[in-house]
Amino acid sequence: MCLPEPIALDGGAVLDTVEVAYTCYGQLNAARNNAILVCHALTGDHFMAETHPVTGKPGWWANIVGSGKPLNTDHYAIFCINVLGGCLGTLGPTSINPASGEIYGLDFPVITINDIVKVQHALMQYRGIPCWHAVVGGSMGAMQVLSWATHWPDKLRVAVPIAGAVRHSAQNIAFHEVGRQAIMADPDWCAGKYLSQNTKPKRGLAVARMAAHVTYLSEECLHEKFGRHLQDRDSLTYGFDADFRVESYLRHQGKSFVQRFDANSYLYLTRAMDYFDIEAEFGSLDTALRGRDVKYCVIAFTSDWLFPISESRVLVKALNRVGAEVSFSAIETNCGHDAFLLDLPPFADMLRGFIAGIAR
Amino acid sequence: MNDPVIRDDIQQCIDWVPRGARVLDVGCSDGELMALLRTHKQVRVQGIELDPDKVNACIGRGLAVIQGDANIDLLDYPDQAFDVVVLSQTLQAMLHPRETLRQLGRIAPRAIVSTPNFAYWRGVMQLLFAGRMPVTKHLPVTWYETANIHLCTITDFLELAALESFTICDGTCFDADVRARPWNITGLGARLLATQASFLLEKRLSPL
């Protein structure tokens, strides 16, 4: 659908025509008070509980969202909206710029997490939903959850930020910069105009994905999964082929990623994450969180070194200081940051318990 | 009026909490007390618990609980953030019980603390005649495996509370079946026959 109103961005630009792609699983009730918003992560999309149209794989949260699942579609209408700046239906750098009639590319304005949420809010109004029962999201999704809870606190009852942080850390900005430079160093990037030149910076985007993918896992999980095992060979080749299974795996990750994701979208969305800092935005964390009637369930994973538990604890401590109602649990796992995408019973149980518990 | 399914020590705690109070339950386990307080006293209650499975049990009940270590995390709460703070059968497992008590006094004007009584006669007998650290129904774990690293008697606790300028507003002793008994908490009967005791403490304001 196309939003009826323009969206004014944090950076000053105004987007007049905003196309939004989203999915809804389950039925809105008559009172329209059973809607849950799931915010997807950096490279996620709104196909969270159905076969992906590009990859043909199950949705990224198919084990969490569905009939009888922790986010139960028998009771809730569960929305997922492709983020602004994304590349699977919602307005982004691959869309046509109405001003020039050409693909936006780098003429697309730089966006923030709040801008993404503004679009979600406009869609919420369009669908006539007065208040989300819950807003849930992991990683970049957690940033959107916190943006909702601080900017639109009367539009949600509970906030569930998973594997998130109140600001993007220097280390995380650094990793993102590595990815962006890899994309921009690819000659096929063509200063962002690759689509009009019928090419794609596949190598650059694949390298960006490979580097980022390592940060989503953990040393222990890489060791367990791959060790030093060789790939389809009995001995070292004394060359730069993918001798090791872990190399082959990463190359595959990179290759399959470029099939479904746009390089410029990757630049814009990583930038939006880098800019995220609630403390800077509100002056202090306590100011951002105080006096808001939002219940929180904060979830982190023990082996996550990209958004470590300590980052979630900063949020929890601030919520304690302002007297907010908050639950927090650090889920024991060696799967690293991506744990929220895996079929992890303690995590699923906690989410199920919390969502069921607040209804009580 | 006592609900027949509620244990006496838990009932005592519920009785001491004012209706509608803001309560922090430190070491809240699976949330049994928090759930009862919510039902019977309409309190706004928050818990701290170390064990992730118990945290999940609380969350499943719709209770707000933070997975964390009370030895450290109590410092994160602002002064007088709650009306009542509850520390049920946990003080003896804290690294620094005196500091914990001090924190309770800082976080809320009133504290409810319950602790096992190490002077309970069966334990004393084991010490005296077997020469061993007591292993009883109430303290069932051997000295080398127990989480109870700072056991005390009722008298010891009262002394520490006084040292930290707490007034004992009320106290109840419980017998071997955790039944409330009308024993005077400073008397010999309580000292030897109580397996545990609960106290309602109020912080004496220091003169300005």
- Structure confidence by residue, pLDDT tens digits, B24-53: 999 999 999 999 999 999 999 999 999 988
Same domain, yes or no: A261 and A349: no
Q: What is the mean pLDDT of residues A61-86?
A: 97
* Interface contact B68-A328, CB threshold 8 A: yes
Same domain, yes or no: A304 and A221: no
* Interface contact B59-A329, CB threshold 8 A: yes
Same domain, yes or no: A43 and A94: yes
| Structural domain harbouring A95 | 7-166+278-359
Query: For residues A129 and A28, is the Cβ–Cβ distance under 8 A?
Result: yes
Q: What is the mean pLDDT of residues A289-309?
A: 95
CA terminus-to-terminus distance, chain B:
41
Query: With bands split at pLDDT 50, 70 and 90, how would you rate the model's confidence at B62?
Result: confident
Report the C-alpha dihedral over residues B108, B164, B159, B200, rounded to 10 degrees. Answer: -10
Query: Which of A148-157, A234-243, B68-77 has the highest mean predicted lDDT (pLDDT)?
Result: A148-157
Of A271, A294, A326, the domain-final residue: A271
What whole-number percentage of chain A has pLDDT above 90?
94
Q: What is the mean pLDDT of residues A210-222?
A: 96
Nearest by CB to B81, from A297, A316, A323: name it. A323
Q: Which CATH number do you get for residue A19?
A: 3.40.50.1820
Same domain, yes or no: A11 and A38: yes
Q: Quick check: B176 contacting A, CB < 8 Å?
A: no
* Interface contact A321-B59, CB threshold 8 A: no
Q: What is the mean pLDDT of residues A209-217?
A: 96
Query: For residues A177 and A314, is the Cβ–Cβ distance under 8 A?
Result: no
For A304-355, give the DSSP string: -SSS-HHHHHHHHHHHHHTT--EEEEEE--SS-GGGGGS--HHHHHHHHHHH
Q: What is the mean pLDDT of residues A282-292?
A: 95
Spatial distance between the Cα atoms of A360 and B2, rounded to a whole number of angstroms? 25
Residue A284 lies in a domain: yes
Same domain, yes or no: A71 and A138: yes
Choosing among A322, A326, A327, A332, which should be mutated to test the B contact, i.e. which has the most B CBs within 10 A?
Answer: A327
Of A225, A256, A271, the domain-final residue: A271
Say if residue B208's pLDDT is above 60. no
Same domain, yes or no: A194 and A245: yes
* Interface contact B56-A316, CB threshold 8 A: no
Query: With bands split at pLDDT 50, 70 and 90, how would you rate the model's confidence at B2?
Result: very low
pLDDT at B3: 52
B170 contacts: CB under 8 Å, gap ≥ 6: B16, B199, B200
What whole-number percentage of chain B has pLDDT above 90?
85
- Spatial CA neighbour of B154 closest among B181, B187, B177: B187
- A40, A304, A312, A338: which is the annotated catalytic residue? A304
Say if residue B206's pLDDT is above 70. no
For A90, the 3-state DSSP assignment is coil
For chain A, the domain total comes to: 2
Of A231, A250, A271, the domain-final residue: A271
Q: Give alpha helix (H) positions in A152-237.
A: 170-185, 202-216, 219-226
pLDDT at B174: 96
Q: What is the mean pLDDT of residues B144-164?
A: 95
Same domain, yes or no: A256 and A303: no
What letter would DSSP give residue A98? T
- Spatial CA neighbour of B52 closest among A350, A352, A137: A350
Active site residue A139: yes
Q: In Å, what is the CA distance from B7 to each residue of A340, B3, B37?
A: 39, 9, 13
Reported as a single tens digit per residue, the pLDDT across B97-113 is 999 999 999 999 999 99
The whole-chain average pLDDT of chain B stands at 92
Same domain, yes or no: A71 and A119: yes
Same domain, yes or no: A336 and A194: no
Q: Which CATH number do you get for residue A234?
A: 1.10.1740.110
The whole-chain average pLDDT of chain A stands at 96
Residue A125 lies in a domain: yes
Spatial distance between the Cα atoms of A91 and A87, rounded to a whole number of angstroms? 8
Residue A2 lies in a domain: no
pLDDT at A163: 98
Residue A219 lies in a domain: yes
* Interface contact B52-A332, CB threshold 8 A: yes
Query: With bands split at pLDDT 50, 70 and 90, how would you rate the model's confidence at A323?
Result: confident
HSE toward the beta carbon, residue A253, CA cutoff 13 A = 17
Query: With bands split at pLDDT 50, 70 and 90, how would you rate the model's confidence at A357?
Result: confident
Nearest by CB to B59, from A316, A350, A359: name it. A350
* Interface contact B64-A331, CB threshold 8 A: no
Query: For residues A265 and A195, is the Cβ–Cβ distance under 8 A?
Result: no
**A23: phi then psi, degrees, rounded to nearest 5:** -125, 155
Classify residue A227 by burial, with Cβ atoms within 10 Å: 0-12, 13-18, 19+: exposed
Same domain, yes or no: A202 and A347: no
Spatial distance between the Cα atoms of A124 and A153, rounded to a whole number of angstroms? 14
Query: With bands split at pLDDT 50, 70 and 90, how would you rate the model's confidence at A105?
Result: very high
Which of chain A's residues have a Cβ under 8 Å away from the Cβ of B75? none
Chain CA centroid to CA B4, Å: 21
pLDDT at B60: 84
Same domain, yes or no: A71 and A145: yes
What letter would DSSP give residue B42? -
For A28-86, give the DSSP string: --TT---EEEEE--TT--S-SSS--TTT-PPPTTTTTEETTSSEETTT-EEEEEPPTT-
Same domain, yes or no: A98 and A246: no
Say if residue A333's pLDDT is above 60. yes
CATH class of B8-116+154-173+196-203: alpha beta
Angle between helices A245-260 and A202-216 (to 10 degrees): 120
Residue A114 lies in a domain: yes
Which residue does chain B place closest to A347, by CA atoms? B56
Which of chain A's residues have a Cβ under 8 Å away from the Cβ of B59? 297, 327, 329, 350, 353-354, 357
Classify residue A153 by burial, with Cβ atoms within 10 Å: 0-12, 13-18, 19+: middle
Residue A1 lies in a domain: no
